[in-house]
Chains A and B, each alone.
Chain A
Amino acid sequence: MNKLIWVLVAAVGAFAIGGLALHRGESINAMWIVVAAACVYAIGYRLYGAWVAAKVLTLDATRATPAVRINDGRDFIPTNRWVVFGHHFAAIAGPGPLIGPTLAAQFGYLPGTLWILVGAVLGGCVQDMTVLFFSTRRNGRSLGQMAREELGPVGGYAAMVGTLVIMVILIAVLGLVVVNAMRHSPWGTSTVFATIPIAILIGLYMRNIRPGRVLEASIIGIVLLLLAVVGGGWVDSHPWLRTWFDLDSVTLAWFVIGYGFIAAVLPVWLLLAPRDYLSTFLKLGTVILLAVAVIVMRPEIKMPAVTQFIDGSGPIFGGALFPFAFITIACGAISGFHALVASGTTPKLIANEGDVRMIGYGSMMLESGVAIMAMIAATLLDPGVFFAINSSPGVVGATAEAAVETITSWGFPVTVEQMSALAAEMGESTLFARTGGAPSLAVGMASIFSSAFGQGMMALWYHFAIMFEAVFILTTLDAGTRVGRFMLQDALSNIWPKFGQTSWYPSVLISSALIVAGWGYFLYIGVVDPNGGINILWPLFGISNQLLAGIALCICTGILVKSGKLRYAWVTGAPLAWLTIVTTVATWQKVVSDDIRIGFLSAANHTAAQLAAGLLPPEQAAVAPQLIFNQRLDAVLAVLLTAILWVVIVDTARVCMRVVRGLPVLPSSEAPAVTLPAQA
């Protein structure tokens, strides 16, 4: 009977995927994607996930977890598994799975959807669960510590450098996404600005008025945030007030940079902690709302299954389906960043080893489900509208007329009137060239919400979605800068021990300034780049994120081999091989491609030649030297990142070979087994 049900689930899933893949018509209902995803997840969790947990990792429900053994009431606390699941999911789910699929939708709905499903079930979920398991067995050791103890110092340093670089690039690209959403949008800008005093107010409330009352404070905060969305509309309609918030990209970029620095040096209780509570509630609420709305409304997907841009000529980012779809989706399928969360905090809360599958595999599956919803929200827009919002002026032309003409010539008809009407409906002056994914996602979410929960509030829903994205992008920006600061302080303490005192103010200020300068530089260049910056930064982020996943999978594979499970090493080895191919080919193309939309060096040379020949208009000529330098820097960075991955792979292979040949290796750092007393 049980088997019959799973055969049925498999059949329904296969039918839905087949329907998606073979469909060639005007549009297809989003329910096909929802059903396909649900079946793939069910099978992935119940069959593959369970098999990996039982046979490869051999979870042992009778073995005491560190939370049970150590139980110090601070870090190590045995916790209800649903609570741990909630915390872990909140920690891994950020803006990445919303933005990646939106950008990758330029290839059509099919490639992205398939990779989100396959990548998660065979790669991302396995990575998260395996890292969580190994860290649980090692008293909650961090990824870097496990690398050092199990493989040696090389892996440890590589994980550290990789984490620092990914942090800087990630924050820059997210900063760019918010800037593009706020540019010349008084409503959006005033709403996002208002979130800052609201968070501070809640911070003061939770510290001074009613200490630690998280729930009531968050409810007050959410109400205030919703009022800020409405208030933004009022600001927008005010002839004088709106000019204050009608800012250009460069000004906004400076605001974000200044904000990032101040937020990172303020005490956590004042800004970061309250905003994180608000963004977590907002995130969980919105994700649930979006899932309900998609199921209630069952929107039609208007994007073709596959577009002509799989050849690499795409307007949002240059590069062919392989390898760039895989680099772009990143977080929704497999994210190296999760390995950092899955080692460290979460393992110290797990009450029973048997819960590792549900928490590790399960929460990544949910994250992948969020990516699927982002894909649906992006592809239910008219493709013409989607490309008009997401293409930079450098690709489609600077004027609205030029842009619609270019996009229509690709076979995705769109008119200036249609775009103006849509912008007016959303309460914006224009939606052209709002690159970065957040605005088109907001338009998609607004259309889903308003048709599921009542028409006529389109502008409110749009700005709610912008506020929602901005709030947790700002949380990531602040938390990321802080983590970068700690890592830098730790690294510099080797040179000057006093620098390592994390609360010594000169050290705090200097290290925060260095980290902010790092991402601020990339953000600034992204803003002045006429091609929109996303085209450069997102692939670089994707490469660094997949690289970190590669390092995590190396560590997992090494530990599997060391613990005598060579025949199962493919479970992490296969996704590792795939990621290595993808990142290496992507890096190769980003560096040496002759196509100026793909290759960093050819783009730099092209701009240099144009500058020398005097072909650039004055405002572009002014920033050209910076752009040329940046493209060359990006090439160096991409090569450096991939080289780090290869070094770790070679090091892992060395350790594995020694195991196979019976030579001594570093001892396992697994904590000795303690069996739980038998339950009565």
Chain B
Amino acid sequence: MPAFDSAVMKSGARKLWSFIRELASDDAYERYLARHREVHPDVPVLSRRAFYLNEQHRKWSGIKRCC
């Protein structure tokens, strides 16, 4: 058995990458689209920019950062 299984490494790297993207909310729009399709496919979706601006506005309306 080889010490490094390239398939395992690849899937591990992919998992790490998607974790980092989720942590940074880099994939927020993709998640929004996926959810949107599932819950109310008939309502028009927000554009990437509109969604981003919406999110920022919502995010900074409360206490987000402390000392």
Out of A277, A345, A482, A486, which one reaches B24, CB within 8 Å? A277
A 166-184 to B, binary, CB cutoff 8 A, 1 in contact else 0 = 0000100010000000000
Contact of A82 with B66 in the complex, beta carbons under 8 Å: no
Question: What is the bound-complex CA distance between A502 and B20, given in angstroms?
Answer: 33
A360-398 vs B: 1/0 string, CB under 8 Å? Answer: 000000000000000000000000000000000000000
B residues in contact with A338, CB < 8 Å: 66
CB pair A335–B67 under 8 Å, yes or no, is: yes
Flag if B61 contacts A276 (CB, 8 Å).
no
Is B39 within 8 A of A73, CB to CB?
A: yes
A498 within 8 A of B: no
Q: Which residues of A contact B56 (CB under 8 A)?
A: 268-269, 273
Contacts known (A80-B19, A80-B22, A86-B23); A206 close to B52, Cβ less than 8 A: yes
Contact B52 A479 (CB under 8 A): no
Give the size of the chain A interface in residues (CB under 8 angstroms). Answer: 52
Whether B67 lies near A337 (C-beta < 8 A) is yes
Q: Is the CB of B66 within 8 A of A94?
A: yes
* Cα distance A56–B59 in the bound complex, in angstroms: 32
B65 pairs with A273, CB closer than 8 A: no
Decide if A437 is an interface residue (CB 8 Å cutoff): no
| List of B residues within 8 angstroms of A269 by Cβ | 52-53, 56-57
Say yes or no for A611: interface residue by CB 8 A criterion.
no
Complex CA gap A170/B65 in Å reads: 12
Partner of B22, one of A83, A206, A268, A335: A83
Task: A79 to B64: give the CA distance in the assembly, Å.
Answer: 17
Q: In the complex, are the beta carbons of B57 and A276 less than 8 A apart?
A: no
Residues in B neighbouring A486, C-beta threshold 8 A: 61-62
Interface pair A212/B48, CB less than 8 Å apart: yes
Taking CB atoms, residues of chain A closer than 8 Å to B21 are 215
* Inter-chain contacts of B28 with A (CB < 8 A): 212, 214
Interface readout for B21-60 with A: 1 if CB under 8 Å, 0 if not? 1111110110010011001000000011101110111111
Q: Total contacts A to B, CB within 8 angstroms?
A: 108
**A594-620 vs B, Cβ < 8 Å mask (1 yes, 0 no):** 000000000000000000000000000
When A73-B32, A80-B19 are in contact, do A170 and B24 touch as well, CB less than 8 Å? no
Contact of B35 among A73, A96, A276, A341 (CB under 8 A): A73
Which B residues are CB-close (under 8 A) to A480? 65
Is B63 located at the chain interface by the 8 A CB criterion? yes
Most B C-beta atoms less than 10 A away, residue of A94, A213, A214, A541: A214
Q: Give Cα A475–Cα B65 distance, bound, in whole angstroms.
A: 8
Q: How many Å lie between the Cα of A345 and that of B25 in the bound state?
A: 15
Q: Identify whether the interface residues of B are mostly helix, strand, loop, or mixed.
A: helix
Identify the closest chain B residue to A143 (Cβ): B63
Residues in B neighbouring A82, C-beta threshold 8 A: 19, 23
Residue of A nearest to B38 (CB): A73
Cα distance A338–B52 in the bound complex, in angstroms = 27
Contact B66 A213 (CB under 8 A): no
Whether B60 pairs with A92 at a CB distance below 8 angstroms is no
Q: How far apart are the CA atoms of A545 and B67 in the complex, in Å?
A: 9
Known: A80-B19, A80-B22, A83-B19. A212 touches B61 (CB 8 A): no
- Whether the Cβ atoms of A273 and B59 lie closer than 8 Å is yes
- Contact A215–B32 (Cβ < 8 Å): no
Cα distance, A80 to B24, chains bound together (Å): 13
Assuming the contacts A211-B52, A269-B53, asked whether A83 and B63 have C-beta atoms less than 8 A apart, the reply is: no
Report if A14 contacts B (CB, 8 A). Answer: no
A96 with B67: CB separation less than 8 A: yes
Q: Is the CB of B65 within 8 A of A276?
A: yes
A 188-229 binary contact with B (CB < 8 Å = 1; else 0): 000000000000000000111001111100100000000000
CB neighbours of A344 from chain B (8 A):
62-63
Find B64's partner among A212, A281, A335, A341 (CB 8 Å cutoff).
A341
What are the residues of chain B within 8 A of A174 when measuring CB–CB?
67
What 0/1 readout, one digit per residue, does chain A (76-120) give for beta carbons within 8 Å of chain B? 000110110011000110111000000000000000000000000
Q: How far is the CA of A476 from the CA of B66 in the complex (A)?
A: 7
| Chain A residues, CB < 8 A from B39 | 73
Point out the residues of chain A lying under 8 angstroms from B22, CB to CB: 79-80, 83
> Could you list 10 examples of A-B contacts with CB < 8 Å?
A80-B19, A83-B22, A206-B52, A207-B49, A211-B48, A212-B49, A273-B60, A276-B64, A331-B67, A479-B64
Q: Say how far B16's CB is from chain A's closest CB, in angstroms.
A: 11
Given the complex of chains A and B, what is the CA–CA distance between A214 and B48 in angstroms?
12
**Distance of A244 Cα from B56 Cα, bound (Å):** 35
Knowing A80-B19, A269-B52, A269-B53, the reply to whether A94 touches B61 (Cβ < 8 A) is no
Q: Is A340 an interface residue (CB 8 A)?
A: yes
Residue on A nearest B62 in the bound complex, by CB: A344
> In the complex the two chains form, is B62's CB within 8 Å of A92's CB?
no
Other A-B pairs, 6, CB within 8 Å; known A96-B66, A273-B56: A82-B23, A86-B23, A174-B67, A207-B53, A215-B21, A482-B60
Docked Cα-Cα span, A174 to B67, in Å, equals: 9
* Across-interface contacts of A218 in B (CB, < 8 A): 24
Q: Do A215 and B66 touch (CB < 8 A)?
A: no
Shortest distance from the beta carbon of B5 to any chain A beta carbon, whole Å: 24
B61: A residues at CB distance < 8 A: 486, 502
Per-position 1/0 for B3-29, Cβ under 8 A of A = 000000000000000011111111011
In the bound complex, residues from chain B placing their C-beta under 8 Å from that of A75 are: 58
Q: Are A91 and B64 in contact (CB under 8 A)?
A: yes
* Distance between Cα atoms of A486 and B62 in the complex (Å): 8
